[in-house]
């Protein structure tokens, strides 16, 4: 497969839909609930609106990338010392975020599918699969996302058709019982952790995208659809479990899925349906691993090396096992730093244009 071939804008949109949900199952949902409680739906709605600012920033930077990916553009636009520092910072930040994602995704697999076995074998198998996909290049990653999106949609339809019968809107009341500050705080967390991963797509030069004149429109439509789904999913979970129960559960999605039956005769298919919750973190890890590899190649002026992706995977695994990061607020700070770096890049690149 030619890794320099054109990429369908639709396949990138599919990939972006998974990126928006990267941190939901591994902490974001619980974080917003703990802050805004019953008013979390307002935090999510405001966060979606604020996220348009981040999406615009991505559009702006992407429009500046023609034949260059983000790392080459940084090097061309800034002095060597500054550009190397920014690239190294982005690499380090994403390595730690990937370590968090891998560890918490492994905990999710252990909780849902296995029975309290050692976390290391799970993390190892996950990172091997991730690295294998990342080694195939960005074309393969986007194609896999295109395959998974149809599987995801099928599982979502099965889930929602059944779960709507268990929904009780009275469980979401009362509303507006928290301060605006807590609602706004939750919206900021939502904006940062749900939309910032989109900057990983800057590893793809704009010229690699087919029919890129319509690309921004496609991405905006995908953004809206993705967050409409998130709102519906949030409403279903809260209307079925209620705010008190939802706020104390680690994985409320799994508890809700236990109510699903297929055609009223296949019970307890939550193990199958829960796989859709893993797609987001898996594709985030694959794209981020590829991003880190490309950053290292550019930072150290290295020739393409197939073994480098193995080193990237090993670094992520070591961070995952050694640091055991479970506090999503730490990831919030790392993601905020990444967001600020890209806002600064907007200003610096604009001055150099």
> Tell me, what's the pLDDT at 1?
40
Low-confidence stretches of the chain (pLDDT < 70) are 1-4, 113-115, 260-273, 351-353
The helix (run of H) or strand (run of E) holding residue 221 is helix 215-241
From CA 293, how far away is CA 136, in angstroms rounded?
12
Q: What is the pLDDT of residue 177?
A: 80
Would strands 266-267 and 261-262 be described as parallel, antiparallel, or unpaired? antiparallel
CA–CA dist 32, 53 (Å, integer): 20
pTM for the predicted model, two decimal places: 0.94
Model confidence pLDDT, tens digit, residues 48-79: 999 999 999 999 999 988 888 999 999 998 99
pLDDT given for residue 260 in this prediction: 66
Rg (CA), the chain: 20
pLDDT of residue 352: 64
Topology, domain 9-352: Amino acid/polyamine transporter I (1.20.1740)
Strands (E), the chain: 261-262, 266-267
Taking CA atoms, 188 is separated from 28, 36, 50, 93, 184, in Å, by 11, 12, 8, 19, 6
Angstrom distance (rounded) from CA 125 to CA 110: 12
Structure tokens at 319: 């961070």
pLDDT at 211: 81
CA–CA distance, 190 with 46 (Å, rounded to integer): 9
Cis before 70 (ω within 30):
no
d(CA 130, CA 318): 15
What integer pLDDT is reported at residue 5 of this predicted model? 80
């Amino acid at each position: 497969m030619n890794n320099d071939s054109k990429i369908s804008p639709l396949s990138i949109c599919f990939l972006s839909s998974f990126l928006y949900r990267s941190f939901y199952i591994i902490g974001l949902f619980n974080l917003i609930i703990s802050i805004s409680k019953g008013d979390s739906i307002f935090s999510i709605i405001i966060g979606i609106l604020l996220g348009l600012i981040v999406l615009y920033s991505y559009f702006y930077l992407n429009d500046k990338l023609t034949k260059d990916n983000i790392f080459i553009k940084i090097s061309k636009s800034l002095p060597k010392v500054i550009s190397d520092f920014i690239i190294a910072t982005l690499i380090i930040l994403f390595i730690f975020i990937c370590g968090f994602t891998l560890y918490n995704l492994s905990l999710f697999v252990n909780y849902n599918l296995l029975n309290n076995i050692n976390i290391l074998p799970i993390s190892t198998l996950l990172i091997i699969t991730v690295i294998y996909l990342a080694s195939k290049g960005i074309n393969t990653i986007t194609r896999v996302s295109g395959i998974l999106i149809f599987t995801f949609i099928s599982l979502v339809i099965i889930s929602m058709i059944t779960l709507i019968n268990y929904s009780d809107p009275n469980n979401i009341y009362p509303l507006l019982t928290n301060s605006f500050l807590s609602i706004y705080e939750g919206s900021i967390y939502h904006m940062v952790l749900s939309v910032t991963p989109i900057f990983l797509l800057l590893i793809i030069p704009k010229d690699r995208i087919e029919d890129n004149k319509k690309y921004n429109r496609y991405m905006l439509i995908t953004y809206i659809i993705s967050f409409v789904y998130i709102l519906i999913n949030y409403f279903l979970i809260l209307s079925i479990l209620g705010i008190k129960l939802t706020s104390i559960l680690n994985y409320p999605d799994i508890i809700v899925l236990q109510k699903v039956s297929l055609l009223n005769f296949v019970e307890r298919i939550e193990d199958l349906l829960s796989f859709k919750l893993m797609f987001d973190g898996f594709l985030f890890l694959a794209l981020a691993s590829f991003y880190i590899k490309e950053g290292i190649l550019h930072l150290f002026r290295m020739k393409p090396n197939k073994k480098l992706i193995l080193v990237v995977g090993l670094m992520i695994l070591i961070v995952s096992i050694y640091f055991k990061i479970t506090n999503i607020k730490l990831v919030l700070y790392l993601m905020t730093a990444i967001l600020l770096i890209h806002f600064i890049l907007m200003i610096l690149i604009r001055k150099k244009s």
